[in-house]
Amino acid sequence: MSSSVRILTFTTLYPNAAKPQHGVFVENRLRQLVKGGEVSARVLAPVPYFPLRGKMFGRWSVFARAPLSEVRHGIAIDHPRFLTIPKLGMTVAPFLLYAAARKSLAALLESGHRFDLIDAHYFYPDGVAAAMLGRTFGLPVTVTARGTDINVIPDYAIPGRMIRWAANRVDGLITVSTALACRLASLGIDSSRIAVLRNGIDPVMFKPMAPFKWDGQAPPSPLALTVGNLVPLKGHDMAIKALSDIPTLHLWIVGDGPERGRLEALAGSLGVAERVTFLGAVPHERMSEVYSAASILILASEREGWPNVLLEAMACGARVVATNVSDVPQIVTELAAGMWIRERNVQALVGAVRQLLAAPMAREATRAHALRFTWDKTTSGQIELFRQILCDQGMARRESG
């Protein structure tokens, strides 16, 4: 058997004890990657510096409560602090992130740790900082693009230039969807260098089970569910508005964020507040109970990278209604999975939800559809890419020597 590839996963999108849901999709992929033993990993997940832990400081105090190091699911993680400068944040963020990470990586190497490759997630500022780290320490680098980092940030002049600089210098480029690959190519990046390795589903974690109970009460029926940060682009307001035209439907909203007050006021103004329940943040390991309670998951997002909530819900037997974003049409391909809507508006959403409620299907059929999207191909694709990069690097060294 070939030797294990030793990677340093580098990203600001990774859970910690203070924010256990933050970047859980990156952790899930890494857990699958190391499970087979062909890859070993340590995580360098910097956290913004803030000196005060008092809850009156809101989300900033949460950063302060993150541990400097921890072990999650058998993987060691370091959380060095990096400075943030609000008014200059987007422009200088890669350099501040690099400065903090360089010191931490140097300390790891001095203590005897060895890495074959830096595996970075999210292109800006993380991927740019990773490219700098690779040059400093002589390590090959891969970067995975995940959504806003490629859909939105390149439209800003200076970040856009830095993203192009990094993309043209790292050794491997990964996107979680074909839509993101096309967007990355549109920035002038050679499409032959881009590997599409989508997220997958863990069928052991996500499966039908006893439904989640809110305040000890059995879930109402029919029940729709929306999951995601309470921010405008997620479209939770569209799901609330749809209730006005579907008087029997109840809605659970999972997630926290700045829009909660506005969404609660909207439900009240429409007279549907009694049918809307805000669950707040639900631990990832309990989401199967929530999905199992729902008839339908609604994803009304304005944009996405690869919306794994669709697969999670379907693996638990809940069909989905989703907007036509990213690779959704490649995920939702039959009625057993649900429907996607061409136009992102409440009328289209109401029509699709009504159609699914009028023609229920066995939850087993919905789960079977989701099980086409396991992690196996993604894991093998990552390992193949890593080994090819290291092989190419070894050949280049021999030729130069």
In the prediction, which pLDDT does 168 show? 96
The answer, yes or no, to whether residue 328 has pLDDT greater than 80, is: yes
- The mean predicted confidence, pLDDT, of the chain is 94
Same topology, domains 5-199+375-400 and 223-370? Answer is yes
For the segment 330-345, the average pLDDT, to the nearest whole number, is 96
Per-residue pLDDT tens digits for 20-58: 989 999 999 999 999 999 999 999 999 999 877 777 777
For the segment 360-368, the average pLDDT, to the nearest whole number, is 97
The answer, yes or no, to whether residue 2 has pLDDT greater than 70, is: no
In the prediction, which pLDDT does 397 show? 75
| Fold that domain 223-370 belongs to in CATH | Rossmann fold (3.40.50)
The answer, yes or no, to whether residue 401 has pLDDT greater than 70, is: no
3-state DSSP of the chain: CCCCEEEEEECCCCCCCCCCCCCHHHHHHHHHHHHCCCEEEEEECCEECCCCCCHHHCHHHHHHHCCCEEEECCEEEECCEECCCHHHHHHHHHHHHHHHHHHHHHHHHHCCCCCCEEEEECHHHHHHHHHHHHHHHCCCEEEEECCHHHHCHHHCHHHHHHHHHHHCCCCEEEECCHHHHHHHHHCCCCHHHEEECCCCECCCCCCCCCCCCECCECCCCCEEEEECCCCHHHCHHHHHHHHHHCCCCEEEEECCCCCHHHHHHHHHHCCCHHHEEEEECCCHHHHHHHHHHCCEEEECCCCCCCCHHHHHHHHCCCEEEEECCCCHHHHCCCCCCEEEECCCCHHHHHHHHHHHHHCCCCHHHHHHHHCCCECHHHHHHHHHHHHHHHHHHHHHHHHHC
Per-residue pLDDT tens digits for 143-177: 999 998 999 999 999 999 999 999 999 999 999 99
The answer, yes or no, to whether residue 17 has pLDDT greater than 70, is: yes
Q: Where are the domains of the chain?
A: 5-199+375-400, 223-370
For residue 312, name the pLDDT band (cuts at 50, 70, 90).
Answer: very high
The answer, yes or no, to whether residue 305 has pLDDT greater than 90, is: no
| Fold that domain 5-199+375-400 belongs to in CATH | Rossmann fold (3.40.50)
The answer, yes or no, to whether residue 1 has pLDDT greater than 60, is: no
In the prediction, which pLDDT does 166 show? 97
Per-residue pLDDT tens digits for 81-140: 999 887 666 889 999 999 999 999 999 999 999 999 999 999 999 999 999 999 999 999
Per-residue pLDDT tens digits for 221-272: 999 999 999 999 999 999 999 999 999 999 999 999 999 999 999 999 999 9
